Chains A and B, each alone.
Chain A
Amino acid sequence: MLSRVAQTIYWLGRYIERAENYARFMDVNLSLIMDLPKTMSEQWQPLVGITGDDALFRSKYDEEYTRDNVVQFMTFDKDNSNSILSCLIQARENARTIREIISSEMWQQLNELYLSVKDANLATNGNLSDFYRHIKTGSHLFNGIMDSTLIHNEAYHFANIGRLSERADKTDRILDMKYFYLLPRVEDVGTTLDYMQWSALLKSASAYEVYRKKYGRMDYRDIIEFLIFDREFPRAIHFCLLEADRSLHTIGNTQLGTFNNPAEKEMGKIISQLNFNDVNDIIQYGLHEYLDDLQVKLNHLGDEIFNTFFSLAH
């Protein structure tokens, strides 16, 4: 397929996944706030912190991390190229460019989701939580429609790599959120408040129920293990990369576990790290540092995918 088209559909997958994850970030914080002891003030800064767009926020909103400002910044702000609306605008532009490649059902779902967010500005202020859930569902619907109406050929696999590598990155950041959340005192580690934050993180990755089924009690080591290393949970980093790797090898028509181009090589390196690390390695290294390092590697993977398939220079 055309390199440009491959790149466009890869980013289409990424943008929609990004919009969904931003909705997850917001939703989790909103629910967390509802459970907080009234003595604690709302924490909105961690949310902005994990997106990596803190500098932009500070310059635009004078470091005022209020609910309204963060909602605006993360959801509707067109100056923030990663806001939900920006992502949907870009996803839609991409979809428009390759409308003849994707199914018309995919286009229609994306178009309707975009219109509902674009026109939502004031009307939904009353129930933000519903609004973010609507975006999540809209993204799920898009993914479901893609899985069941798009032919599973090269285009599908590029979209799949896009959404899964984006999801891996965002699950990484969701976990990292804990690093930014403040606990009032050091002694609060291991208390109800601490675990409330961990549960919120699990919920934002739709992982709470599955986690409880699998591990029962709340233990941050298990939570870390689950969200990073689980091979069966669709939002766990390891799962995402294994699936993306499958698509990558389908495109290249190469055997899993081998590599024939820089993208396959980079992917293989990250996966083998996850294959042979466990939660002890992470604790030893430092959770935040480990997650940070993983993000850098995922970015590098994105670069290699670009160089291998999309770069127009020959």
Chain B
Amino acid sequence: MSHNIKFLANYKTESFFDEMFTSEGDVRPAYKLFFENLERLNLDDLKAKQYTADKAYVSMGITFNVYHEGEGVERTLPFDLVPRIIPFEEWDVINRGLTQRVIALNTFLDDIYNKKLILKDNIIPEEIIRSSPGYLPACEGIQPPKGRWTHISGIDLIKHSDGDYYVLEDNCRVPSGVSYVLENREIMKRAFPNIFERAHVLPIYDYPLQLLEMLESLTTMQEPNVVVLTPGIYNSAYFEHSFLAQQMGAELVEGRDLVVEDGFCFMRTTKGLQRVDVIYRRVDDLFIDPLVFRPDSVLGVPGLFDAYRRGNVAIANAPGTGVADDKVVYAYVPDMIKYYLEEDPILPNVPTYLCWRDNDRDYVLENIHKMVVKTDNQSGGYGMLMGPSSTTEERRVFIDKIKSSPRNYIAQPMMSLSRVPTLIQDDLEGRHVDLRPFVLFGNGVSVIPGGLSRVALKKGSMVVNSSQGGGSKDTWVLGVPEEDLLNA
């Protein structure tokens, strides 16, 4: 490396794909401008910027909560100043790949709740769908507005040491994190204004507007009343619900604010009942209507599902989309793409072993120390075994679980997530990142440029979840090709 940056003096890319440096230590073209800026800073400058950013998060109250009694413990998602930068050419692949994938997923959802062609043609075993907790028989025969089911999808990607992107999981039910994407950008603009003036970073500020337009496209009502349905202040993503409602100018409602009368949905206002046309729900499927799903739910609205079924209120994402989040169903997405679109997947899945298949299971049980084992319907980094770092006892527990309920387990080889330099005390060190882009599907598909880059702050860790010591970074998608950057 030919530079004089002290806080990068000991930086090593090791055997990983590093987003800023090649294995020879050269700065990649996408990072050229940012790196030049780093060279002009000393450690104190950098730390001052980091301090200002952290303080902005606390004072703006951008927090997620772990509640105990009344006051609760609020935590900010740790934020790192070094952005993850995606070159124009890579984004082009991601954008096309995500568009293709979301169209296939939506077609799949519409299919399994209606004609079930993919099951009849034996592309996916029917019992896999039937046994998935996200599959809701109540949704059979429903045709949501415009045939859209997964209006907002968060598709988790990783870049492996081979430099290629892979899809790690699909989130079609209630993907969260987009508020961090928007706020991270605002904070970065304040920290590095001079870079943004020159870097051709694709803007993301219009996401709330796009989201609102997508939601409004789900109804034929003139001047529709769009609301955001939140489980309430105790939900860990409450900040985001409130943020999105504010940015869209929509009403933020809780279940108790809504009432269904004569098959129509209304909200209770100081001037009486007011009709609701579109609900952007951030409440899980099973809690939206105690008459149809969990009877103990106090977060939902009795009768809402009936109003939805009659087409009197649109719900995004559609109830029933959770089946696509099942990690077993995930393994079939490449097959869906071929089946519905007659195309090859642009973004591959991580190779996945399904433990209910005898051959796969045998392989997994033999090689469990090398693999990552995941439970079909858990997220947040829970219900997971990281083979290489596991103890014999942990492996034994998972082996028993796999044997007793093979349908519920999948396994994947350890992927090595790419790394981005990250400020750890007085040095920049490589830390692993993933990427969750957000995809809107209304009249057409729209991918917000970038997404949430989550970073595993613990040294060597590949687990990026906020509940497991993860943080986030701003994600820049460059709007100009590489050759232009080099000539700049």
Contacts and interface: CB of A to CB of B under 8 A. Distances in A.
A4 B242 contact: no
B59 interface: yes
B59 A104 contact: no
Interface string B51-63: 0000000111100
A202 interface: no
B267 interface: yes
Contact of A89 (B60, B70, B269): B70
Contact of A99 (B242, B257, B259, B273): B242
B256 A312 contact: yes
Contacts of A310: 270
A314 B273 contact: yes
Contacts of B233: 93, 96-97
Given A2-B269, A108-B60, A89 B71 contact: yes
B274 to A, nearest CB: 9
B246 interface: yes
Contacts of A99: 61, 239, 242-243, 246
B245 interface: yes
Contacts of A96: 61, 233, 238, 242
Contacts of A104: 60
A15 interface: no
B337 interface: no
Contact of B270 (A78, A107, A111, A251): A251
B252 interface: yes
Q: Is the interface of A mostly helix, strand, loop or mixed?
A: helix
Nearest to B72: A93
Interface string A100-111: 110010011001
Q: In the complex, which of the residues B61, B70, B251, B252 has the most CB atoms of chain A within 10 Å of its own CB atom?
A: B61
Contacts of B252: 98, 100
Interface in A237-260: 251
Interface of A: 1-6, 78, 89, 93, 96-101, 104, 107-108, 111-112, 115, 154, 251, 309-310, 312, 314
21 contacts: A1-B269, A2-B267, A2-B268, A2-B270, A3-B257, A3-B268, A6-B270, A78-B71, A89-B70, A89-B71, A96-B242, A97-B233, A99-B61, A99-B243, A100-B242, A100-B252, A108-B61, A154-B270, A309-B270, A310-B270, A314-B273
Given A2-B257, A93-B70, A111-B60, 11 more contacts: A1-B270, A2-B268, A4-B256, A96-B233, A96-B242, A98-B242, A98-B252, A99-B243, A310-B270, A312-B256, A314-B259
